[in-house]
Amino acid sequence: MGNLVGKEKVNESQTYTIDRPRALTSRLGATSTFNGILHMSTTTGRAATIKDVARVANVSTATVSKFINGTQKFTEVTEERLRQAIAELGYRTDPLARSMITGRTKTVAVVILDIRNPHFTGIVKGANRKAMEHGYNLLFVDTAERLSGEANMLRDLSRRVDGLIVSSRMPDADIAALHDLRKPVVFFGRSVGSGFHSVSADGRSAAGMLGRHLLDLGHKNIAYLGYPLARWDSERKAGLMDVIGAAGQKVQCFVAQSPTFEAGENAVSEVLMRGDRPDAVICYNDLLAIGFMNQAQVAGVKVPEQVSVAGFDDIPFARYAMPSLTTVDMQSEAMGELAFMRMLELIEGKLEASEETLRPRLVIRNSTGRKGPPAA
């Protein structure tokens, strides 16, 4: 149901005995509800209504409704009168009642894969910053890296929010089915051909940056510790192979069980305890890289003297690792900010779905160095 336009009939025969200042009493009439919303007046101790605001501001109830719901702009003089009336009466909108009227909840869901991963907390931080600026709330959901059931969860969420910002491992068929929700969706990471808007950092370019950096340091036996279940894994692997292959070399590829510290530690024996041990290892993300680097040193392998290690994301832990981790800044917070702003445009019908890519930034620290002599 849309906003009511026009005058609302009030039963003027009703009598109210309310303890309030005489000046304010003369400006307030009978109490009534408008659009099903009642609000407490800090001055009178009763519910201040939209009609009360209209009387105090000397405007129509329709004008107050449009101002509150942001559906129309008015002159600065009128808007200032409205703001003063709202402040004087202590008027507060009821989000639930307003959502029933406008069809908007002023809430957007942000679905991430693992809240423990600082890359995703950076995304959330960026999205929340913009949400607060625009009067929106965010509903966060951590899928805990689950590999099934996401489509049903998103379907349930869609009934409670105006749109969904999603990082997901859903198969393409499940992604396509999200069109049935008839709600705006923005994906983190490319969603080629899905018809949904997506925001990502250029993983192929990022991997190329790391590959060139390691080649410049003289490394010739470079490995990639990947996580194929992640959508971003394939483009990172491809970018690394582009650069290493152009130099006439091959990349040894290994698979981590999960994108975590623990999985990085567990991969050390397979990657380093072999005859053709690599002299540099690029990991799918910083969590894997830090876990891998720590366990390598426990096993007696010096970093970076005997093996260089690098990752992706530039999480806060990366600079404090021992040694500090070379990585690529994948613009986590900027990605969250951009995703939320594009969501607002989609909600307002001002944007056609497309793919947007942020440029990553190479961050060179102490975990990579010039290739040293072979281990004894």
Which domains are assigned to the chain? 22-101 (1.10.260.40), 107-201+332-359 (3.40.50.2300), 203-330 (3.40.50.2300)
Proportion of the chain above pLDDT 70, given as a percent: 82
Query: How far is residue 174's CA from residue 333's CA, in Å, rounded to a whole number?
Result: 27
The pLDDT, as a whole number, for residue 185 is 95
Judge whether 324 and 366 are in contact, CB under 8 Å: yes
Greater confidence (290 vs 275) lies with 290
b/e for 39-52, b at 16 or more Cβ within 10 A?
Answer: bebebbebbbbbbb
- Is the predicted pLDDT of residue 329 greater than 60, yes or no? yes
What DSSP element (H or E) covers 155?
Answer: helix 150-158
Cβ neighbours of residue 216 under 8 Å, at least 6 residues apart?
none
Measured torsion, CA atoms of residues 219, 225, 230, 236, in degrees rounded to the nearest 10 = 10
pLDDT tens, residue by residue, 192-236:
667 899 999 999 999 999 999 999 999 999 999 999 999 899 999
CA pair distance 250, 369, nearest whole angstrom: 20
pLDDT band of residue 373 (cuts 50, 70, 90) is low
pLDDT of residue 176: 87
End-to-end Cα spacing for the chain:
78
Q: Any idea which residue has 């102490």 for tokens? A: 366
* Cis before 323? omega within 30: yes
107-112, strands of its sheet edge to edge: 137-142, 107-112, 163-166, 185-188, 197-201, 355-358
Q: Which pLDDT band holds residue 17 (cuts at 50, 70, 90)?
A: very low
pLDDT at 9 over 80: no
CA 131 – CA 338 distance, rounded (Å): 11
Give percent of the chain above pLDDT 90: 65
Q: Which of 143-152, 255-264, 335-344 has the lowest mean pLDDT?
A: 143-152
Short-list 253, 275, 330, 264, CA closest to 303: 264
Q: Which of 56-65, 265-274, 292-301 has the lowest mean pLDDT?
A: 56-65
Backbone phi, psi, residue 186, to 5°:
-120, 130
291-305 mean pLDDT = 98
Cβ-proximal residues to 130 (8 Å cutoff; 6+ apart), any chain: 336, 337, 340, 341
pLDDT tier for residue 170 given thresholds of 50, 70 and 90: confident
Identify the sign of the CA torsion 59, 65, 66, 69: positive
Q: Please give the average per-residue pLDDT across 164-180, as a whole number.
A: 89
Is it the case that residue 35 has pLDDT exceeding 70? no
More confident residue, 367 or 83: 367
